[in-house]
Structure 1
Amino acid sequence: MRTPLLLLICLLVLIVSTPCKADLSLTLDDKEMAQADAMYQQYCSLCHGKDREGYKADHAPSLKSESMLSTAYPQLLFDTISWGRVNSAMDGYSKEAGGPLSDADIILLIRWLAQKERISPIELGEASVQGNALNGKVIYSENCVSCHGVNGEGVTAPAIADQLFLSSATDNYLKHAIVYGREGTPMQSFSNKLHDEEINDIVAYLRSQASGWRPTPLELAKWPEPEEFVINPKGSNPTFNLRDGRYVPAKEVVQALESNNKLIILDTRPGSAWQRIHIPGAVPMPYYRDKSRIAEYLPNDDTWIVAYCACPHAASDSVVNHLRSLGYKNTAVIDEGILKWIEMGLPVEAGKDKANKK
């Protein structure tokens, strides 16, 4: 039983960017478990919950599901943590993507996740599932849209029409999730509701939306210097109408930028998200940054400090809460978050755009 398991792991590792010689056994010692637990609490618990229960922010799924962990380990877990999910609040944490974690860190984290639930990786095979995508679209619309969205964008459940996800998730991974569901989550088993052919059709429909995404390191830009933090330093202060004394409408932030008002905008998502796309002039201030450094170089005067994330509030709320605890008064959170900001057609830029301007 041990030899086939190690062979499976090695074969899976060949598919991803981790070295095959990496230790992926589920035998972490107490020191390694404590190190991984600390990483999880710092980077993951905000959305996935302190006990991996999920759904603390942005409908982030449970990371305790044996069904998910046993079929996603190690490739899909590694890819998802490394590169995130396109068009979602889950951004990449790999240093190659502009995040804080090395490959070794991510490998330790996925080993910890698997060991916490004592899972045994399941061999699902690489064979494609044959089905009718057009019929699958109809079945999907009747059974899946309320949670996963009309276009698989995710509503109260994870996005499943994401190119990154579909580039790593095999057909049999998708089918296994539909057949068996995810215990401890709202994702039910459809084995007694749909025929095998119908499930195959759904898999074919989901697969039809993949377009060959590949993990490509970004052209990383240098983060702004402290003297660049304040936008329009000689401008006047903006006037904001805050909901609940905290949340500012996106249109008022845009108006402040167009009026050359003085303010600071903080992007509280992972650094990789800022590299990929951000509001012009935004300063990366990841929510997981050491608390002693969140206020580093931020003026504590009348300058407005506006934070945003994608959830749309969890990460930005945590940063603003900390700033307010330090006595910062003119602080706010962009109510809609950046995903809605982009959907509204408001201005954004990528980190590489900033790099190319210099």
Structure 2
Amino acid sequence: MHSLSYKKTLNYLIWLSLTLLPVLASSSLYAQENGAALYKQHCSACHSNTGEGGIGLPLATPSVIESLPDSYIKKTIIQGRPGRIMPAFDQLSADEVDAIVGHMRLWGEQKVSNDTTPIKGNALKGKATYQQHCASCHGQNLEGNTLGTGVTFSRDRSLPVMPPALNNAGFLDAASDAMLKYSISHGRIGTPMPAFADTLTEPQINDVVSYIRAAHQQQAKPPVDEDALSLMYDSPLDFDETVDAVRSTISAYNFRTFPDRYIEQGLTDEFSSNKKQVIIRFCNFKKLYDAIRIEPRIGTILPCKITIFETEDGEVKLVTVNIKRYGSLFNNAQLDKALEAISEAYEEILDEVTL
């Protein structure tokens, strides 16, 4: 009797395993296919469809993918790199992020320990070692030896990939001490990052890790600027006088003006366009270049524009983007500094016309 019951149970388990095996295999295959599609949609533009890199890191390079823990990849996808070219994909679900990571794991397995225990070292000694061996690529202050976001044209042409900014909050939040130590020790073959296991002692490597980690602990969150993204001024002049005054003042501030455009231009025929709504475009090419080479996306609001329109009540308004507030969205100190002069010129032009 017991033998019969045992056989029934065994037969049931065999049937169950044979039934579920194709389902599990199908689910795994779906996850891989879904991960490949998600990677192609969200990641391939910078990292290439095969992970060979471009603007972004060559993720499929064995020495790279094996140095990246799953936790690091997931946090990087979700949080991005504030102030760098890597955006945050926080709109993706946890399952979608897992699928992308699963797809990337086809290029190589993780070799870094998942241990999150902080490494104990001497940060002061680590700073000296860092300055000697690391600063030439990663910057004197861990900021990355490059301008701005790390796109191709803002990096040293001799570097095939962009050295990461080690003081970036997104990087430091994602990277464990174990990952930092592994990367320093083993390097990344196929990139300019050498292995230091034979150059530095383990205590020296621990010191460098502690120095990098100290930068994370010292960071403070930037203040939130609640200013509006656009600014509006009232003009004391009539419409035509305001337009002339803006053009004249722009030229006085060493900006080049472009032909004016009516707001409705291209949306209706030229005879029907409202001639009391005009966009004045202007640019200082040196300032424009300084800003765009740091953050190309700032080009969405450049060249500078001031919109002038007359309301039904006869009031004349001037509207422009708050370039300082807009620039702060990129969380990039270099960009903030570059935009400061443009922002001041904006304010002085508008004040001179409207006061």
Partner of 2:57, secondary structure, is coil
Question: 2:342 aligned with 1:342, yes or no?
Answer: no
* Distance in 2 of aligned mates of 1:41 and 1:163: 26
Q: Which amino acid aligns with 1:189?
A: A
Match of 2:281 among 238, 249, 268: 238
Question: 2:103 aligned with 1:112, yes or no?
Answer: yes
1:201-212 superposed matches below 5 A: 201-211=207-217
Deviations 1:79-119 (A, max 9, x none): 11000122222121012xxxxx22221111011111x2241
Could you say which residue in structure 2 is the equivalent of 1:90? Answer: 86
1:155-234 superposed matches below 5 A: 155=145, 156-211=162-217, 233=263, 234=277
> What TM-score do the two structures reach when normalised by structure 2?
0.55
Match of 2:304 among 248, 256, 261: 256
* Distance in 1 of aligned mates of 2:335 and 2:262: 21
Deviations 1:151-170 (A, max 9, x none): 21223311222223223322
Could you say which residue in structure 1 is the equivalent of 2:20? Answer: none
| Pair 1:88–1:27, CA change in 2 (3 A) | farther
Question: 2:66 aligned with 1:76, yes or no?
Answer: no
* Distance in 1 of aligned mates of 2:87 and 2:78: 8
| Pair 1:153–1:235, CA change in 2 (3 A) | same
Q: Which runs of structure 1 show a deviation greater than 6 angstroms over 4 or more consecutive aligned residues?
A: 25-28, 212-215, 251-255, 261-265
Q: Which has the higher helix share?
A: 2
Q: Which amino acid aligns with 2:47?
A: H
* Distance in 1 of aligned mates of 2:26 and 2:71: 18
* Distance in 1 of aligned mates of 2:50 and 2:218: 34
| Pair 1:88–1:259, CA change in 2 (3 A) | same
Give yes or no for contact 1:52–1:64 (8 Å, CA) kept in 2: yes
Q: Which amino acid aligns with 1:109?
A: I
1:309-324 superposed matches below 5 A: none
Deviations 1:28-84 (A, max 9, x none): 744433322222222212222232122x22xx2221244443453321111110001
Deviations 1:256-310 (A, max 9, x none): 3357599999xxxxxxxxxxx7459x9xxxxxxxxxxxxxxxxxxxxxxxxxxx8
Question: 2:62 aligned with 1:62, yes or no?
Answer: no
* Distance in 2 of aligned mates of 1:134 and 1:89: 31
Give yes or no for contact 1:160–1:166 (8 Å, CA) kept in 2: yes
Partner of 1:235, secondary structure, is strand
Structure 2 unaligned residues grouped into runs of 5+: 1-23, 146-161, 231-260, 264-276, 293-298, 310-317, 344-355
* Distance in 1 of aligned mates of 2:97 and 2:219: 20
* Distance in 2 of aligned mates of 1:214 and 1:117: 36
Deviating more after overlay: 255-264 vs 149-158: 255-264
| Pair 1:62–1:250, CA change in 2 (3 A) | closer
* Distance in 1 of aligned mates of 2:194 and 2:123: 22
Partner of 2:215, secondary structure, is coil
* Distance in 1 of aligned mates of 2:181 and 2:339: 36
Deviating more after overlay: 148-157 vs 205-214: 205-214
Could you say which residue in structure 1 is the equivalent of 2:48? Answer: 49
* Distance in 1 of aligned mates of 2:305 and 2:191: 42
Q: Which amino acid aligns with 2:97?
A: I
Provide the identity percentage: 25
Could you say which residue in structure 1 is the equivalent of 2:36? Answer: 37
| Cα distance, 1:186 vs structure 2 | 1.8
Give yes or no for contact 2:63–2:188 (8 Å, CA) kept in 1: yes
> What TM-score do the two structures reach when normalised by structure 1?
0.54
